[in-house]
Structure 1
Amino acid sequence: MSYRVVIGSVLLLLSWGAMAQGPAISPALSYTRDIQPIFTEKCVACHACYDSACQLNLGSGEGAARGASKTPVYDGERTQAAAPTRLFYDAFGKRAWQQKGFYSVLDAQGSQAALMARMLEFGHQAPLQPNAKLPDDIVLGLNRENMCAMPAEFDAYASSHPKQGMPLAVTGLTDQQYQTLQRWLASGAPIDEQGLVPSASEALQVVQWENLLNAPGARQSLVARWLFEHLFLAHIYFKDGEPGHFFQWVRSRTPTGQPIDLINTRRPDDDPGTVVYYRLWPVQGVIVHKTHITYPLSPAKMARVKSLFYSGNWQVDALPGYGPLHRANPFATFEAIPAQARYQFMLDNAEYFVRTFIRGPVCRGQIATDVIRDNFWALFQAPEHDLYITDPNFRGQATPLLAMPGQNDDVGSVLSLWHDYRDKRNEYDALRRDSYAELPAPSWSTLWAGNDNALLSIFRHFDSAAVTKGLIGDVPQTIWLFDYPLLERTYYQLAVNFDVFGNVSHQAQTRLYFDLIRNGAEQNFLRLMPADSRDGYLDDWYQSSGQFKMWMDYEAIDDDKPTALKLDARDPKRDFAMQLIARYGELNAKPDPINRCDNAYCSRPNIDPALQNAEQALSRLASRPAAGLKVIEQLPEATLLRVETANGQRVVYSLLRNRAHSNVAFMLGESLRYQPGLDTLTIFPGVLSSYPNFIFNIPADQVPAFVDAMENAKDANRFEKIVERWGIRRSHPQFWQYFHDLSRYIHETEPVEEGVLDMNRYENL
């Protein structure tokens, strides 16, 4: 096949269709040039993810044309699974979406203007008082009950929700933006948007990767299926690719060189019902940070994949089928692929895999995130010390015990299914405990240290969470240690097999099993601690009702086998953490002197002296319990500090509130286990949340005054004075400039990670 034919065919397959079409475009007004930029600046921050109000997604022409729906994606009480409504996946074009219950926000209704036109007019007529706190009757965040007014219901909405036009409860459109949108809507809202077109270099790499995954042969087919199931969530980018160009793996009925004919199953491991071709198509629409989980492909990555999966003489006797049993146990389904290859592939990009199940793409996850602590570190067991990798006999005994629940969503069977899978998991944990007890005591070589993915920090922000490389913050209460069976189960349970549109049974089973996963990761770590300290740590992690949960649902830990690590008996966990940081300093991608001062030095070296002074001051707020720093009680989960120097430089810091709990072992009653006096703050340069809750803009020379005020803010009135002086409220005249500057900062510091942040959690402080 000639190069020209290759490029031509890839361009054909990637231009998989224009979005929803409207009347002929006026040369004076273009959706792509004039309309989408306004949506991106003022609308996408609330209208992009699954939990965008009324499912209205304004990140693309397809989303705008699709319109709105009264059916929420997030419904923890539904007894029947909902039909999926994934944009660019479950339907295409306005008519197809209307058959799924969506209604237009762009079409005029007889003599009435389009619903969007009326909502925008409603908002434009009632501007907010600059940088003032919003009225208390405007409910925001997760507690807001969206009416999702249809065109005929607008008048009732306007009457019952005064001052709640669009954009909602935030500095609105400029006069010019408002007039442009109204003119576009009045002209019939034409959409000229086209699919993203790859560069010649990207198109060539697309073909090379598709050829690899679609190569003939049983061994090749099994590897391709495993790779697809592990990369289906990824926003793929290529070495030397165009900035902002990302691609996604999908299953198609058609091979490379033909337009993609999407197989849109509910899960990536559902039966496709036909011959499958793995294809790469471009990620369409505005890139949103929450769902932007990146993964690099390059010639070096291809060589790595070939080395891991295609070397050796392993064979596939018969390809596995699909269905609930195969979904439940990927260890059995992909048994023929060497376990070493599977685990090493996941370790190479461990941050990506942990992000898939900790950060996204679920956009509203308190029922899932309340199973984890607000901050902890994650480490990984070296393959050569992982019995599942090294011992075929252990692997054979373990594999049948590693099946996961959630495939049967019968509501009446939740408890019986849960007990069956819990018992299998505990049988596996007993096998693991007893088998590892026969091995040499664990040492530093037990930990994988292959690259800078080896040390990860996780922060939970109530109903969302973030993952970043490096050991950030003070030594956390818990540390997780993943081995291959644990990492793969977590990924399949929370990413591959989790269905955001599933019913209450599916979601409950998933959440309950995640509790066992957390417990397993904690127990793995405890093997590194002195034997006589393990029960004490476990009692600290499972206080109060957690003791009952340990007795009822968890397998007993090994509290006899010693560790080979030499640790200070007075505080072995902290000593372990300090030795870990010192030993793996080159892998610890982000040193953290603000939260862990080196003697009296609490700022990064080699930065502007004004910023060094600012960081030194900010360190006074870090790692202190709320009992002695009362302002923590006033702070939301994720606050961003924008610190500006006199010469125009600025650095963005994340100020994260770590809420403390007696235990996180139960699905309900989180507030009953909350220990507010033990809350702490972590402060770190960078944007460590997809959902900013508030922004402070502080000149660097005023940071000491800001810190003084925070230390003295012992009640809400004093905190409000801080907000009034340095805060960027939703009503601030330059709100959008400051809000989008967070994304610009990501672009400057980690360009490939840039995306529009979500303001659905931005609080009314």
Structure 2
Amino acid sequence: MVHRCLLALAGTLALSVSGMALGQAPQSSPAISYTRDIQPIFTNKCVACHACNDAACQLNLGSADGVQRGASKVPVYQGDRSQAVPTTRLFYDAHSEQAWRKQGFYSVLDGQGSQAALMARMLELGHKTPLTPNAKLPESIVLGLNRNNMCPLPHEFDAYAGVHPGEGMPLAVTGLTDQEYQTLQRWLAAGAPVDAQALQPSAAEASQIAEWEALLNRPGSSEALIGRWLYEHLFLAHIDFVGGQPGHFFQWVRSRTPSGQPADIIATRRPNDPPGTDFYYRLVPVQGVIVHKTHISYPLGPQKLKRVKQLFYSGDWHATSLPGYGPRHRANPFETFEAIPAVARYQFMLDNAEYFVRTFIRGPVCRGQIATDVIRDNFWALFQEPAHDLYITDARYRGEATPLLAMPGQIDDVGSVISLWHSYRDKRNEYEKLRREAYAEAPAPSWSTLWAGNDNALLSIFRHFDSASVSKGLIGDVPLTTWLFDYPLLERTYYQLAVNFDVFGNVSHQLQTRLYFDLIRNGAEVNFLRLMPADQRGAILSDWYQTTGKVKMWLDYEDIDTDTASAFKLDERDPKRDFGLQLLQRTKSLNVTPDPINRCQGAYCSRPQMSAEFRDVEQSLSRLVSRPAAGLKVINQLPEASMLRIEGQGGQRQVYSLLRNRAHSNVAFLLGEESRYQPGLDTLTLVPGVLSSYPNFIFNIPASDVPEWVEDMEAARDDPAKFERIVMRWGVRRSHPQFWQYFHDLNTFIEETEPLEAGVLDMNRYENL
């Protein structure tokens, strides 16, 4: 669709390149500066829809490079294509405007004879058709992921404008101020000059970069193998250096040039594809505006350097040869890196488990449906203690298991997808059988089976249809399912969904990835079932796989162990819930998010550290959570992730995420989700902070109104007219005059509470309530 181009999007004022008011150039300097005047407007009004691979028409407005690259009619997300498409990653796959033109991108900045630039005409169309303040948008304007990517070329604009007169840019949202509009039009009329400078590391950052590059590029077979493993596990990270500059992040690349020279990036499709030449691991600055959906931060500093040396460089082991980069080595990292002690590999991942789970649950690809349509809407994730992981402790078992841990997706022949799937499914099930039998001979699982090494040991995952979030701690009521990762499962999940996944791949590759992740989920659930009483595991599994799920159990899953005892002492009436409650009690020191709102005990359902005003707010809001939709029917009218902005006295405010947890009879199939949906069992979870990169709606509520808002929500039931009145009074629709103020404030709140996680949020999923 025409570039949701310049789509109304959001950035945060604090992320603006300039601290001056948007669009206001100093009166003493009438010349427009891209850095000072233009990028701040894009950051605050365009980047929220024009960033990453899912930018409308691939028009990425987070940097001068993206603006000059322009737009493309080729969609990145096209799950049914028979052939993979060339990769078009900004800053990687081409480095000049001319190179992007050869890849099919067209300019939105160049005038066409007597016609103004395409961007200028899109902005003009949007500016002359303002929206009715805070009114619902016409149904004729299709929004969200269902909108067709129209992407008109310059000579097609008149036809587009004739058919879509109300769909200029920013699209279907409160638009540019008059001053912003005039600034952009003056800049475009002047030929869209750019004066942007690339981000450079500070002296403190440069010193640490030199240390890390020296470490990963050490000579020797063992050192080269370690460097490769570390690179493949950190290539998605936005590195934050201890003592570094706020807002500076770096990422690992493979370069043809060594340290001390400008990086010459080797832009392979995957990080473990053949580099084709000698190379060096390098750390380069992350350029452009930081956007939340791709921002997965990772800390590096002296302590981490010491830890890496301890784990990988101090042991008595040696790699006698180096593996290649062919399909076999990509498919099975356990064979590729078997020379590196498994305990070092696993412990490195456990140290920052939240980062690794974020890479494949929240994802680097901007739209995560390959991962998210196979998971529940909320669950907890735990990890097996290395000393109780047989892959770590038993060399014989490890030798038998390793050949069975290969993953599909390297061969993307469409005609062979079924046979490939069957082959890898059978291999995985052979591994599950081996694991079941080996663990049946091991000591019964107990609390010591669970890793409790730091605050990454407990994670909460929330799915928001085609995206998901990961947070430290145990959030919400005890969920329906809990995942238990051991090392083989954690490593396979990471490689299948992060290292080996190709967003530009064809239907065969994406289907194999999706089907294997279904087996991964099942493996995580089976690992957890081993903690349950043996005679109740079958019933719990049956509850997870109701109706058609039983067919999937029969077709594709290995049988579970229903004989070997567990050492956990659990209430036989509901052992799964009792486990969750005991877990909460036993892990108080690790649980970074105590949750009295959703797990209210007694009369107090608020966080004790809050002011009296906000304790009352949370007490009122707690009435809505952990109640099935059958008793709170307004759930059926709420989107996946609503943000509540509560305004207190004296300019104070708090932000909460109101998450809708959809219930399903099972999540075992690629298609037919609606047929397995159980709306009467939906619940809400209320979490302080912003838990989604993609807010679906904002309610702005004075603290004194919260009791009335809650009462109206309870009374609305499934009456659209009553819910409409709630939206009209407290909702921030796309057409709200202060839309951008409230939208930006969500990220400002992240900056205040978790500054390293801040980044421009995405509004592609902001709904037309």
TM over 0.5: yes
- Which of the numbers 447, 453, 457 marks the counterpart of 2:456? 453
Match of 1:328 among 326, 331, 339: 331
Q: Report whether the alignment pairs 1:313 with 2:327.
A: no
Corresponding residue for 2:724?
720
Aligned position for 2:172: 169
Name the counterpart of 2:26.
none
In structure 2, what is the Cα distance between the partners aligned to 1:146 and 1:403? Answer: 37
Contact residue 370 and residue 513 of structure 2 kept, 8 A? no
Q: Aligned-pair distance for 1:417? A: 0.3
Matched, 1:52 2:58: no
1:109 to 91, 109, 112: 112
Paired AA for residue 287 in structure 1: I
Question: Post-superposition shift, 1:364?
Answer: 2.2
Instruction: Pick the aligned partner of 1:286 from 286, 289, 292.
Output: 289
Does residue 441 of the first structure (1) align with residue 444 of the second (2)? Answer: yes
CA deviation profile, 1:261-307 (whole Å, cap 9, x unmatched): 11000000000011120000000000000000000000000000000
Partner of 1:740: 744
Residue of structure 2 equivalent to 1:389:
392
Counterparts of 2:283 and 2:425 in 1: how far apart (Å)?
Answer: 38
Residue in 2 that maps onto 1:536: 539
State the SS of the aligned residue for 2:526: helix
Is 1:489 aligned with 2:492?
yes
Matching of residues 244-283 of structure 1 within 5 Å: 244-283=247-286
SS at match of 1:684: strand
Q: Does 1:759 align with 2:760?
A: no
3-state DSSP class of the match of 1:647? helix
Q: Which of 570, 593, 597 is the equivalent residue of 1:567?
A: 570
Cα distance in 2 for partners of 1:403, 1:37 equals: 47
Report the Cα offset of residue 368 of structure 1: 3.0
- 1:149-548 equivalence runs, <5 A: 149-548=152-551
Q: Which runs of 4+ in 1 moved over 2 A?
A: 364-368
Which position in structure 1 is the counterpart of 2:658? 655
Instruction: Assess if the C-alpha contact under 8 Å between 1:367 and 1:667 holds in 2.
Output: no
- C-alpha distance in 2 between matches for 1:49 and 1:625: 36
Separation in 1 of the partners of 2:86 and 2:147?
24
CA distance in 2, matches of 1:564, 1:371: 30
Please give the per-residue CA displacement for 1:710-753, whole angstroms capped at 9, x wherever unaligned: 00112111111100010000000110000010000000000000
TM-score for both structures, normalised by structure 1: 0.96
Correspondence 1:590-669 to 2 at 5 A: 590-669=593-672
Q: Secondary structure at the match of 2:650?
A: coil
What SS does the aligned partner of 1:668 have? Answer: coil
CA distance in 2, matches of 1:568, 1:143: 47
Alpha-carbon separation, structure 2, partners of 1:360 and 1:423: 28
Letter in 2 for 1:358: I
Q: Distance in 2 between matches of 1:441 and 1:356?
A: 32
Measure, in 2, the Cα distance between the counterparts of 1:97 and 1:467.
35
Root-mean-square deviation (CA, aligned residues, Å) is: 0.7
- 1:197 deviation in Å? 1.1
User: Contact 1:387 / 1:395 at 8 angstroms: preserved in 2?
Assistant: yes
Shift of 1:367: 4.0
Q: Output the CA distance in 1 between the equivalents of 2:133 and 2:30.
A: 37
Q: What secondary structure, in the 3-state scheme, does the structure 2 residue paired with 1:96 have?
A: helix
d(CA) in 2 for partners of 1:269 and 1:590? 36
Q: How far did 1:755 drift? A: 0.1
SS of structure 2 residue aligned to 1:300: helix
Determine helix, strand or coil for the equivalent of 1:278.
strand
Aligned partner of 2:74 in structure 1 is: 71
What is the rounded CA distance, in whole Å, between the counterparts of 1:146 and 1:335 in structure 2? 45
Structure 2: unaligned runs, 5 residues or longer: 1-28
Following the alignment from structure 1 to structure 2, what is the Cα–Cα distance between the partners of residues 253 and 49?
25
1:688 aligns with 2:691: yes
What corresponds to 1:7 in structure 2?
none
Q: Residues 388-425 of structure 1, C-alpha deviation per residue, up to 9 Å, x if partnerless?
A: 00000000000000000000000000010000000000
Alpha-carbon contact 2:360-2:371 (below 8 Å) kept: no
Q: Is the 8 A contact 1:249 1:278 kept in 2?
A: yes
Deviation at 1:311, TM superposition (A): 1.0
Distance 1:663 1:495 in 2: 25
Amino-acid identity (%)? 76
Counterpart-to-counterpart distance in 2, 1:329 and 1:477: 32
> Which is worse superposed, 321-330 or 364-373?
364-373
What per-residue deviation string (whole Å, max 9, x for no partner) do you get for residues 651-680 of structure 1? 100000001110000111111111111111
Quote the Cα distance in structure 1 between the aligned partners of 2:47 and 2:573. Answer: 51
Q: Rate the CA distance shift 1:27–1:278 in 2: closer, same or farther, 3 A.
A: farther
Q: Following the alignment from structure 2 to structure 1, what is the Cα–Cα distance between the partners of residues 655 and 341? A: 44
Residue 44 of structure 1, CA deviation? 0.2
Cα distance between partner residues in 1 of 2:264 and 2:287: 16
Alpha-carbon distance, 1:27 to partner: 6.7
Provide the secondary structure at the position in 2 that maps to 1:364.
Answer: coil
Match of 2:103 in 1: 100
Alignment match, 1:127: 130
Structure 1 residue matching 2:417: 3-state secondary structure: helix
Tell me the number of residue pairs that the alignment of Structure 1 and Structure 2 aligns. 740
Contact kept, 8 Å, 1:481 with 1:521, in 2: the verdict is: yes
CA deviation map 1:302-347 (0-9, x unaligned):
0000000011210111011111000000000000000000000000
Q: Which amino acid aligns with 1:254?
A: T
* CA distance in 1: counterparts of 2:378 and 2:567, whole angstroms: 27
Aligned-pair CA distance for 1:203: 0.7
Answering whether residue 49 of structure 2 is matched by residue 34 of structure 1, we say no
The residue aligned with 1:587 is 590
For residue 9 of structure 1, what is the aligned residue in structure 2? none
Gaps spanning 5+ residues in structure 1: where? 1-25
Rate the CA distance shift 1:104–1:352 in 2: closer, same or farther, 3 A.
same
Structure 1 residues 241 and 761: CA distance shift in structure 2, 3 A: same
